[in-house]
Amino acid sequence: MTPSTPARSLSGMTLVAGVAGSPVSHSLSPILHNAWIQAAGVDAVYVAFAPGPQGFTRFADGLRGGVIRGLNVTAPFKQDALAIADVVSERARRAGSANLLLFAADGRIHADNTDGVGLLYAFHSQAPGFEPASAPIVVLGAGGAARGAVAAFLAEGAPEVRVVNRDPARAASLAEMFGTRVRVVAPADLAAVLGDAGGLINATPQGLGGSPSPLALFEAAGSACVVMDMIYKPIRTRFLMGAAEAGLRTVDGLSMLIGQAIPSFEAFFGAAPPAIDIRRIALEQLESAA
């Protein structure tokens, strides 16, 4: 709940959903969902679960039969979430991971991935006019977050996605999953492939590191390139500040978090979240925790 949300009485009819990760105490998902729950007047609660590093599968398996409505799943359990599911959406299959599990009354677990939805929501809400199909996209990273980004942009018609990762074998493995529209680019060649890029996405925890400097890199990008960092703590990362200094439009990770939470809320509670200023609520929480 948000700090201002009063305590609510729970009943035998209260719907329960949550988020599972390790660690999970930093997650803003309970803030978002409980604010929506309160505004909508739903008899529900959204809580955080922290299974042990090796305990997610047993934990999720014990929820079969609809003990709770579902889970959002964050690192490091997204691939485990996909593996345990009985029914897998096409989005989750393409992304190779699941960030949303739904527990049906018949005991089956349904897996979906709303990260791509959140990614595109963030671009469209913070960079109006951005068209994924208009130019190549550059993605930094080759892990689960990067794979989700590649899948989302390919589905939206991006002519090419260029994957940059320090481990060339890992980048090549990701590219093989998607075919000829994905190209592996060595980190040393990153600046050379930014001139015609429509978007640059940091899908790594660290970003660019020290070389080349963010400003020098962003100055190699065309003026139409939109830069996103999936990190939302802090909101204004070094990566985004470098892009803004170079005059490029930026998209932050908080907008992506909100975007992926919207379809999750709908899946849990059967209705779209109410139209409240959820970003302001999340920002207030981030500021109070700083």
Percentage of the chain lying above the pLDDT 70 cut = 92
Residues 279, 158 share a domain: no
Query: What is the band of 207 on the pLDDT scale with cuts at 50, 70, 90?
Result: low
d(CA 118, CA 230): 10
What residues contact residue 102 under an 8 Å CB cut-off, 6+ apart?
Answer: 69, 70, 109, 110, 112, 267, 268
Residues 146, 107 share a domain: no
Are 81 and 144 a contacting pair, CB within 8 Å?
no
Residues 242, 207 share a domain: yes
> Within a domain: residue 8?
no
Buried b (16+ CB within 10 A) or exposed e, 239-275: bbebbeebebbbbbbbbbbbbbbbbbbebbbeeebee
Whether 210 shows a pLDDT value over 90: the answer reads no
Residues 283, 158 share a domain: no
Looking up residue 283, the CATH number of its domain turns out to be: 3.40.50.10860
Are 189 and 166 a contacting pair, CB within 8 Å?
no
Residues 261, 230 share a domain: no
pLDDT of residue 221: 93
> Within a domain: residue 6?
no
> Within a domain: residue 63?
yes
d(CA 264, CA 244): 31
Residue 30, domain extent = 15-113+257-289
- Give me the chain's average pLDDT, please: 91
Query: What is the band of 8 on the pLDDT scale with cuts at 50, 70, 90?
Result: low
Provide the strand spans (E) within the chain. Answer: 15-20, 44-49, 70-73, 87-88, 100-103, 109-112, 137-140, 161-164, 182-185, 199-202, 226-229, 249-251
Looking up residue 194, the CATH number of its domain turns out to be: 3.40.50.720
Residues 54-72 have pLDDT tens digits of 899 999 999 999 889 999 9
Residues 121, 108 share a domain: no
User: Would you call 78 a catalytic residue per the annotation?
Assistant: yes
Residues 245, 123 share a domain: yes
Query: What is the band of 9 on the pLDDT scale with cuts at 50, 70, 90?
Result: low
The pTM (predicted TM-score) of the whole model is 0.90
Query: What is the band of 3 on the pLDDT scale with cuts at 50, 70, 90?
Result: very low
Are 137 and 164 a contacting pair, CB within 8 Å?
no
**DSSP three-state, residue 41:** coil
Residues 223, 156 share a domain: yes
d(CA 280, CA 261): 15
- Identity at 88, one-letter amino acid code: V
Long-range contacts of 53-56 (CB under 8 A, 24+ apart): 53/22, 56/20, 56/22, 56/80, 56/81
Residues 241, 128 share a domain: yes
d(CA 27, CA 128): 27
d(CA 47, CA 155): 32
For Cα atoms 180, 140, 127, give the angle at the middle one, nearest 5 degrees: 95
From 78, 94, 110, 162, the catalytic residue: 78
Q: Which residue has the tokens 């190699």?
A: 220
Q: Which of 20-24, 33-37, 141-145 ranks highest by mean pLDDT?
A: 33-37
